[in-house]
Amino acid sequence: MHPRSPKRLALLGFAAAALIIPISVAHAQPATPAPAAVTHPIPQSLRNEHAEDLEQLELLSKRPGKVGEIAREAVVLFKRHAATEAEFIMPPLTLLPVLADGKVTPDMAWAVAMSDRVRAEREQIFQQHAEVTEVLNKLVEAAETAKDQDAKEFAEAAAGDAMNDVEILEPAVLVIGDYIRMKLAAGH
């Protein structure tokens, strides 16, 4: 891939755009302990993808020089973002096959709450994606300098996956929540 390819420029633009979006983080602590959160699974394909990406990043983090240094930084950011996705972004996606069959039941209401959280935290989620993409772009540059084709190809593909999350997966979660809310309100 040429260093100034449209894909690479898009990835760099994505990271740059994130820098101009302000971050608003609430620092308030609840007065009473919150009840234990109920966890929901994420789609197996996404769970496998996360595991493979983390495994590859951890392997790259053991390499000497800038590639290893930047990969170690990427591991930290990736783990943080993967935890966010597993907590409330990706679980509603498990409902897609059932929703595609036209089935909505009251026990799916948990997905509405998660979708609402995605909507409320879109700015912070975007910022996490931008940070991950930015470090992956740095990894591409370090890999090019080190002539490490494997690291370069991985970083480019992983940055593309981050864009997929922003462009497809997270909007799908919002649609899932809105659809379930509408169907439940209509008594379906």
Domain assignment present for residue 20? The answer is: no
Position 86 scores a pLDDT of 95
Domain assignment present for residue 93? The answer is: yes
CA–CA dist 1, 9 (Å, integer): 12
**DSSP 8-state secondary structure symbol assigned to residue 24:** -
Residue with tokens 């990043």: 57
Domain assignment present for residue 117? The answer is: yes
Domain assignment present for residue 50? The answer is: yes
Structural domain count, the chain: 1
* φ/ψ (deg, to 5) at 21: -90, 125
Range of the domain at 63: 42-185
Position 39 scores a pLDDT of 81
Domain assignment present for residue 91? The answer is: yes
Cα distances (angstroms) measured from residue 116 to each of 6, 92, 177: 34, 11, 7
Domain assignment present for residue 25? The answer is: no
Residue closest to 60 by CA, chosen among 140, 162, 3, 132: 140
Stretch (H or E) spanning 6: helix 6-19
Identify the segments of the chain with pLDDT beneath 70: 1-38, 188
Q: Which amino acid is at 120?
A: A
**DSSP 8-state secondary structure symbol assigned to residue 3:** T
* φ/ψ (deg, to 5) at 156: -65, -45
Q: pTM for the complete prediction?
A: 0.77
Domain assignment present for residue 18? The answer is: no
Residue closest to 90 by CA, chosen among 144, 148, 41: 41
Identify whether the C-beta of residue 167 lies closer than 8 Å to the C-beta of residue 84. Answer: no
